Structure 1
């Protein structure tokens, strides 16, 4: 479902470019990358370690996938143009689910602030987070993102507190509080800021 004028969603895409950086989810797993032209390429997190082994910042890649938004692609195949090696989106092997008491055990309390570089989207096109100028990724639930529509735009200054990961690939958190710097609002009643 398109989100605003000019968005071409659901069409096949074939793009080539130079990898700027890998992206991670709040659990610290690589889940995509950004090309130097700003294109965001998403992959399922179960392919993260394969992607990290396949490509490095500065290398040229070709991506075949589905265009979700003007500059966001869900990859089906990623090829390292220099080595010819590639990976394709295949369902993960079945694994036992993480016990409820262990979910989130490796997450750290983080706080970030900066200027919104881009807005990220959920599969149906709703905003669900931002990437900041310093590289941090802030994830929001879709209902929480709706509360902050005016702040979810490139160039806006935002701050967030939440739980996530900081590792060699960057920093990402699931926000429990979000807003303009100095005016951060708790998103959940039962979470201490």
Structure 2
């Protein structure tokens, strides 16, 4: 159960356009149109069944949510459908497991419509204009943030799933075009220390002194 009372948060309303999928093929959010803006809403996967039963594309929805810093995202605490039914994040079922989907090799190329983020604002992929959801681990996404920005051209190859809500690709390779695909790599973020300087990952150094030698004694 989420510790925040949803009624303590203002509601953002819009028209539900489409659901967004995670790499397991589960619904973990949606895109809604609020005025002239596209709004990305994150919802935990354990809310999938009730969300998809209570809200439909083209209907008005209300979202009580928090907004992470530095990310165009609303992390939902509760969602209200057109029928007035409120779906609240009560936490996952202890026995819940990921659904079983058939994965297949899949690729895609196109223009990024929206960057996709995790609930804490971590970059995790992109939504293409053709509706394809591209998912990338947050450590790998850091290294190709420019390719995941709105209006960027993006090509990916990886493991994909087709679902009734669209397709999702867990990317293993990415580039600006199919001809420039490269394997995705983890990128360790820089950290700022008290002196204000950025420092990269720590490196292991050899011993300060040379190896010890055995000496013969008389």
Q: TM-score, normalised by structure 1?
A: 0.81
Aligned-partner Cα distance in 2 for 1:78–1:122: 17
Answer yes or no: is the 8 Å Cα contact 1:27–1:164 preserved in 2.
Answer: no
Deviation at 1:152, TM superposition (A): 2.3
Q: Does 1:184 align with 2:166?
A: no
Deviations 1:9-54 (A, max 9, x none): xx94520111011111122111111102311111110111111101
Aligned-partner Cα distance in 1 for 2:132–2:168: 6
Aligned-partner Cα distance in 1 for 2:30–2:113: 14
Answer yes or no: is the 8 Å Cα contact 1:13–1:67 preserved in 2.
Answer: no
**2:152 corresponds to:** 156
**Partner of residue 34 from structure 1, selected from 23, 31, 35:** 31
**1:16 corresponds to:** 13
Larger strand fraction of residues: 1
**1:65 corresponds to:** 65
**1:112 corresponds to:** 108
Give ranges in structure 2 of 5+ residues lacking alignment.
1-7, 186-218
Aligned-partner Cα distance in 1 for 2:164–2:38: 21
**Bigger mean CA deviation after superposition, 116-125 or 12-21:** 116-125
Deviation at 1:176, TM superposition (A): 0.7
RMSD: 2.2
Q: Does 1:77 align with 2:74?
A: no
- Answer 1 or 2: higher relative contact order, Cα 8 Å, separation at least 6: 1
Partner SS state of residue 50, structure 1: helix
Q: TM-score, normalised by structure 2?
A: 0.72
Once the two structures are superposed, the pairs formed by residues 96-175 of structure 1 within 5 Å of their partners are: 106-175=102-171
Aligned-partner Cα distance in 2 for 1:174–1:180: 17
